[in-house]
A and B are shown apart, each in its own frame.
Chain A
Amino acid sequence: MVKFVAGRLVQMVLVVLSVTLLAFGALNFLGDPLFNILGAIADEASGPEFDEVRNAARAEYNLDEPFLVRYGLWLSDMAQGDFGRSFANGTTVSEELGRRLPVTIQLMVYAQVLALLISVPWALWSASKAYKAVDKVSTVVSFAMLGIPVFALAVIVFWLFAVRWNIFPTRFEDDTIRSRLVSMFLPASVLAVPLIATYQRLLRTDLISTLQEDFIAVARAKGLPQWRVLVRHALRPSLFSMLTVFGIQTGALIGGSLIVESYFSIPGIGAGVVEAIIRDDFPVVLAIVVVVTVIFVVVNFFVDILYSFLDPRVQLDG
């Protein structure tokens, strides 16, 4: 157990280091770093006040030091929670993150909860009807759900439920918890659709093979009703594939949050990164990339650890 966790931790640190190196390297080597940091003001504007800004940026990113020193200093700043600052609007990135990150996390959790609430019962149902006509239809539906691009789905859902039928507001409101839950429902559902399809497919396949197991026949012979056999006996041993992609899907969710946050005007990290890109605010982009990647890696790490709780046989030394 300890050996496994330690191994995964080392891998996690290595990945975070390479990701940051890659991102910081991109900032420094793809084009002029000063321009990358400052955007248009780097060379277009002249005048003493801009010289000051340029010098501040040089100092902030230690541009006069060799690359590795620069990287090390930047990394230690990041580790201390100093994510740099936006030269475009003067705010620090940590403030920006502090404001936006909770919104995005809420949205992602919301989407995951919706996805699980729908996909698990759906998978249980289709596995119990495996290979019958209804199951075939539901397979087609989940295939279509998997194929539809998130941004196209966002437009359709917005058009139908907010514009045409007026069920949900067309603007993002978050003055109360309730209004936030309501405003976030459509975006969260859009994010949930591909997750639902992915989870349903994986869980259905695993359930069908679990249902062939002897211990399922034993449970049936105990006279337990079908739903109880499914939920109490078949579900948990069938969760592995789904759990594996649960972590990976967090990456898809992060990508999806860029789309739905921009489209539904939700002030989260995804909308933030898109805005930052459009105004060439690279320090913000960089910081968000690093933070988001670290979140992603950490989530996947914990998913691996969760395995041991699902299956007591997994000894975690591999």
Chain B
Amino acid sequence: MADTHEPVTELEAVDAPPPPSIAKQLGLGFWLSSGFVALVVVLALLAPVLPLADPNETAIGGRLEGPRSGLWFGADSTGRDVLSLTIWGSRISLLVGFIAILIGFAVGGTVGIAAGYFRGVFDKIVSFVFVTLLSFPALILAILITTLLGRTVAWVSVSIGILAIAPVGRLARAQTLVFAEREFVTAARLLGASDRRILLKEILPNVVIPMSALALLGMGIAIVAEGTLAFLAISVEDGLSWGRQIQDAGSSARNLQNGPHAALFPIGVLFLTVLSLNYAGDRIREVFDAKELQL
């Protein structure tokens, strides 16, 4: 089928107008979401030099005082500045999300690609380990690890990162299986390229794009996971984070009655961040999936 159709597609490709640039194809929504995520990241990085109130200082504003000029997000039940808390809180949320995904990709990606490329017994073992990891309800596994290892940024990131290993690994393995059968890989092998060279030069670049979509989606999931642990008071001890802040402000009916803004602002920022990451990831996947079909 494919062989007989190729010349036709080529002819059509010549006639067709040049495809819109990738930036255009991704669409306005993608750039808005990316812009929002970038803004959140920049604010998090610049927190120490921004003219913000000390997030731990109480009585900056009145108890559950509403938003006003100079206290844009209002104050929480102890009079802390909610804006400052939200920006400082983003630091742990984003950092944990980032490290977790890094771990997930470093371990899951490497093992998954190796399993897909070398196949055999190694692949069988790896696949079984993935199945086992996925058989744990995710949050329970994270809790198990954090409880035993300790509630530091590093260990919380590791525990969430471990959750990412199996999904990332499965995708990496599946993608590698697809590409390992393609002509250019066979060609490279016939030309005597080493496994190492084929993996790095031929397979990795092709696996990276679908994986980058997963990285954005995964970041969102990891941030939610950290927020959840913090909300349950089992994330980083004494650390400010969105989940902790939302739990602080949202766990008392009276506080919610008197000043819902203290919970709603961090919720809004968290929601928009996760939504933006999801949307950006989805767009990348859609655009590159379409490309894949055209190949």
Contact = CB atoms under 8 A, between A and B. Distances in A.
Give yes or no for direct A-B contact (beta carbon below 8 Å): yes
A244 interface: no
Nearest to A12: B135
Contacts of B131: 11, 15
Q: Is the interface of B mostly helix, strand, loop or mixed?
A: helix
Given A149-B270, A152-B267, A255-B140, A278 B243 contact: no
Contacts of A226: none
Given A147-B275, A255-B137, A18 B132 contact: yes
A148 B263 contact: no
Contacts of B139: 254-255, 258
A246 interface: no
B250 A158 contact: yes
B234 A30 contact: no
Interface stretch (B1-9, B57-65, B252-260): B252-260
Contacts of A274: 143, 232-234
Contacts of B148: 26-27, 30-31, 36, 282
B144 A26 contact: yes
A292 B137 contact: yes
A159 B263 contact: yes
B56 interface: no
Contacts of A162: 253
B279 to A, nearest CB: 7
B136 A147 contact: no
A172 B143 CA distance: 25
A257 to B, nearest CB: 9
A283 B232 CA distance: 19
A293 B138 contact: no
B256 A273 contact: no
Given A151-B228, A254-B140, A259-B232, A15 B132 contact: yes
Given A155-B250, A163-B253, A259 B228 contact: yes
B278 interface: yes
B274 A296 contact: no
B212 interface: no
B246 A151 contact: yes
A130 interface: no
Interface in A138-161: 143-144, 146-152, 154-156, 158-159
Contacts of A170: 253
A134 interface: no
A158 B256 contact: yes
B227 interface: yes
Given A255-B138, A258-B232, A282-B147, A152 B270 contact: yes
Nearest to A159: B256
B270 A19 contact: no
Contacts of B256: 155, 158-159, 163
A278 B234 contact: yes
B140 A147 contact: no
Contacts of A155: 246, 249-250, 256, 263, 267
B26 interface: no
A250 B140 CA distance: 12
B243 A293 contact: no
A277 interface: yes
Nearest to A300: B135
A22 interface: yes
Contacts of A158: 250, 253, 256
Nearest to B273: A147
B53 interface: no
Contacts of A251: 136-138
Interface of A: 11, 14-15, 18-19, 22-23, 26-27, 30-31, 36, 143-144, 146-152, 154-156, 158-159, 162-164, 170, 250-252, 254-255, 258-259, 262-263, 273-274, 277-278, 280, 282, 285, 288-289, 292-293, 296-297, 300
The 4 A-B pairs with the shortest beta carbon distances in the complex, nearest first, are: A255-B139, A155-B250, A254-B137, A251-B137
Given A26-B145, A159-B263, A254-B137, 11 more contacts: A15-B131, A26-B148, A147-B274, A162-B253, A251-B136, A252-B137, A255-B137, A255-B228, A258-B143, A293-B136, A293-B140
16 contacts: A36-B148, A149-B271, A151-B243, A155-B250, A158-B256, A159-B250, A159-B263, A252-B138, A255-B228, A259-B232, A274-B232, A274-B233, A277-B147, A277-B234, A280-B147, A282-B147
